[in-house]
Chain A
Amino acid sequence: MSMIKTNNARPVLGTLAVLGYIIMIVPILFVVSTAFSTGRTVSFPPKGFTLDWFGAALGNNTFMSSLGQSLQLALIATVIALAIGVPATIAMHRGKIPGKSLVQGLFLSPLVVPELVVGLALYQQIMVVLGQSNSIALLIGHTAILLPYAVRVTGASLALADPAIEEAARGLGASPLRAFFTVTLPLLRPGIFSAALLSFVTSFNNVPLSLLLQDRSFRTLPVTMLDYIQQNYDPTIAAMSTLLLAATVVVAIIAERTVGFAKIFGGINK
């Protein structure tokens, strides 16, 4: 097998890398430029400069009420996922559990099944068969898809924490509960924080579950925006998107300053 004997790998790699960054970033920049355009439809080049579309987005009741519902859902689902996920992770890592890998697999299983399929299952079985409201189904679904993050990310930082430290605390006379709260939990804090951040963002941005489980009374922001894009062609949606972008940048800066970006996302692929 003859390989081309050149030292020209860098230019080729560089070109592909630049193309990759263009595909990832440029469309986002166009959304932002559209948000400030005075044109009545989404068009290029943007005409003039106005902040009116931001007013329109913030004054849009449908956007604002679904924003509130999205935030609420993401917050509650994150809290529940951590409240049941963190103890489970501790038990899996530090306890003696029969069929441990099976249990672990079960906790990670929502990551393997497509989210639309989870959404369909919950729509059929919880809403149609059991007659529950869509907010209950949404809360169950969002919590289920967040659990694997809670288990994996806190698991990764638990694996780094030395169990001997907790034993030392016990040896010095601390009760199991006290040893846990004063020694183990602080060690887990970065992991729990990463899991919480990742969970909140994942739930807030989720489309597949929120789409299948939507209802007039409770609809999340991404689903509302999807609908709006399909029916309207004005820059209000670009303004709303720009506001979300700004909020996401803030979240990213917080993530980078506290635990570091790469660490948070490194947890997903381990």
Chain B
Amino acid sequence: MSRKPAWLLLPGLVFILLGFAIPSVAMLIAPPGVSTGDVFARLGQMLTDPYSLGIIGRTLGLGLITTATCLVLGFPIAYLLARSTSRFAGMWLALAIFPLLLSNVVRTFGWIVLLGSQGAIGQLITGLGLASEAPQLLYTELAVVLGMTQLFLPLAIISCYSAVAQVDPGLDDAARGLGASRTRTLWTVVLPLSAPGLVVATTLVFAGAATAYTTPYLLGGSSQRMLATELYNYSNVTVDWASASATALIMTLLVFLVSGLSSLLSRGKSVQS
């Protein structure tokens, strides 16, 4: 067999080490003008003071709500498309994937048009006489969750779609033939067998939501600060390197924690069944 020489790896390896791995580690142990001790002292402080805990809690909370929303909306889309025999199914799948190519800024700006004080939803509510004044929609948790759901739903759809597509439709028919209702077939056959796809979706959506900057910045404003907006402020506005590095560490750990837990959870499930 013709073996490819290992030196083909070298440029990439050097690049990843110098341009990514080493700076990332150095950020934690040697931020400019600050000691490693300062970073970890600040980390300890953040994990105890109410202000930072509030930010961490909001990031975790809104991240989890967004993840749940994306699974609840994304799985049905994936399931219906994967099982569809319509010739338009491909077109609908493309429409679900297309937003991934479009700038996050453009997609998020749409919510300002919809939710702003002069926006369509506020106008609709006052127009219908449901309220005398348009309610505050922008700069709320709802706005942030909607914005992040829009951004990350396509990821959930793709991951669920490839999982559902791998489940033999014959199994659906078998369960139905044995008298299970369509709902029961979905819950006891298709969903458990698509668990790996749900794990991938959870990991991707949570990682995106917990680290998203555009959404909390544009739709959350100063009342919905999250780890991402804090990190930017520490790094580029107040230039507080110890806090910036500590925030980066918390953010990374949060993403690892949720992705680890979700794959553990699904492993437990598949052992049980």
Within 8 Å CB of B22, what residues of A? 125
- Which residues of A line the B interface, CB within 8 A? 3-10, 12-14, 16-17, 19-21, 23-31, 34, 41-45, 83-85, 87-88, 90-97, 103, 106-107, 109-110, 113-118, 120-126, 128-129, 140-141, 143-144, 147, 151, 163, 166-167, 170, 176, 179, 201, 204-205, 207-208, 211-212, 214, 222, 225-226, 229-230, 237-238, 241, 244-245, 248-249, 251-252, 255-256, 261-262, 265-266, 268-269
Within 8 Å CB of A230, what residues of B? 217-218
Within 8 Å CB of A16, what residues of B? 72-73, 76-77
The prevalent SS among residues of B at the interface is: helix
**Within B243-273, which residues are at the interface with A (CB < 8 Å)?**
244-245, 248, 251-252, 255
Instruction: Please pick, from A125, A170, A201, the residue contacting B101 in the complex, using a CB distance under 8 A.
Output: A201
The answer to whether B73 and A19 have CB atoms under 8 Å apart is yes
The answer to whether B218 and A125 have CB atoms under 8 Å apart is no
Given the contacts A84-B11, A91-B5, A25 and B95 also touching, CB distance less than 8 Å:
yes
Within 8 Å CB of A13, what residues of B? 76, 79-80, 186
Question: Which of B96, B103, B159: most chain A Cβ within 10 A?
Answer: B103
| Cβ distance A267 to chain B, nearest Cβ, rounded Å | 10
The answer to whether A241 and B106 have CB atoms under 8 Å apart is yes
Closest Cβ neighbor of B27 among chain A residues: A121
Within 8 Å CB of A23, what residues of B? 73, 146, 149-150, 153
Within 8 Å CB of B106, what residues of A? 28, 31, 225, 241, 244-245
Within 8 Å CB of A256, what residues of B? 94
B220 at the interface (CB under 8 A from A): no
Within 8 Å CB of B73, what residues of A? 16-17, 19-20, 23
| Cβ distance A36 to chain B, nearest Cβ, rounded Å | 13
Closest Cβ neighbor of A20 among chain B residues: B73
User: Which 5 residue pairs spanning A and B have beta carbons closest together?
Assistant: A27-B110, A43-B118, A20-B73, A88-B12, A91-B8
Given the contacts A110-B20, A256-B94, A88 and B112 also touching, CB distance less than 8 Å:
no
The answer to whether A91 and B245 have CB atoms under 8 Å apart is no
The answer to whether B154 and A241 have CB atoms under 8 Å apart is no
B200 at the interface (CB under 8 A from A): yes
Distance in angstroms between the alpha carbons of A116 and B15 in the assembled complex: 19
Within 8 Å CB of A6, what residues of B? 181-183
Within 8 Å CB of B131, what residues of A? none
**Within B11-59, which residues are at the interface with A (CB < 8 Å)?**
11-13, 15-17, 19-24, 26-27, 30-32
Question: Which of A24, A115, A126, A268: most chain B Cβ within 10 A?
Answer: A24
Which bucket holds chain B's interface residue count?
35 or more
| Cβ distance B165 to chain A, nearest Cβ, rounded Å | 10
Distance in angstroms between the alpha carbons of A42 and B104 in the assembled complex: 19
B87 at the interface (CB under 8 A from A): no
Instruction: Please pick, from A44, A225, A266, the residue contacting B119 in the complex, using a CB distance under 8 A.
Output: A44
The answer to whether B12 and A117 have CB atoms under 8 Å apart is no
| Cβ distance B131 to chain A, nearest Cβ, rounded Å | 16
Within 8 Å CB of A207, what residues of B? 104-105, 213-214
The answer to whether B184 and A3 have CB atoms under 8 Å apart is yes
| Cβ distance B14 to chain A, nearest Cβ, rounded Å | 9
Given the contacts A44-B113, A208-B211, A120 and B244 also touching, CB distance less than 8 Å:
yes
B235 at the interface (CB under 8 A from A): yes
| Cβ distance B70 to chain A, nearest Cβ, rounded Å | 9
Given the contacts A122-B23, A163-B2, A30 and B113 also touching, CB distance less than 8 Å:
yes
| Cβ distance A150 to chain B, nearest Cβ, rounded Å | 9
B9 at the interface (CB under 8 A from A): yes
The answer to whether B27 and A42 have CB atoms under 8 Å apart is no
The answer to whether A109 and B13 have CB atoms under 8 Å apart is no
Closest Cβ neighbor of B31 among chain A residues: A124
Closest Cβ neighbor of B119 among chain A residues: A44
Instruction: Please pick, from B15, B119, B123, B158, the residue contacting A265 in the complex, using a CB distance under 8 A.
Output: B158
Within 8 Å CB of A87, what residues of B? 8-9, 11-12
Distance in angstroms between the alpha carbons of A226 and B229 in the assembled complex: 13
The answer to whether A27 and B114 have CB atoms under 8 Å apart is yes
| Cβ distance B59 to chain A, nearest Cβ, rounded Å | 11
B128 at the interface (CB under 8 A from A): no
B198 at the interface (CB under 8 A from A): no
B224 at the interface (CB under 8 A from A): no
Within 8 Å CB of B5, what residues of A? 91, 95
Within 8 Å CB of B76, what residues of A? 12-14, 16-17, 20
The answer to whether B110 and A30 have CB atoms under 8 Å apart is yes
| Cβ distance A69 to chain B, nearest Cβ, rounded Å | 15
Given the contacts A27-B114, A27-B150, A201-B101, A106 and B123 also touching, CB distance less than 8 Å:
no
| Cβ distance B97 to chain A, nearest Cβ, rounded Å | 5
The answer to whether B19 and A143 have CB atoms under 8 Å apart is yes
The answer to whether A94 and B11 have CB atoms under 8 Å apart is no
B223 at the interface (CB under 8 A from A): no
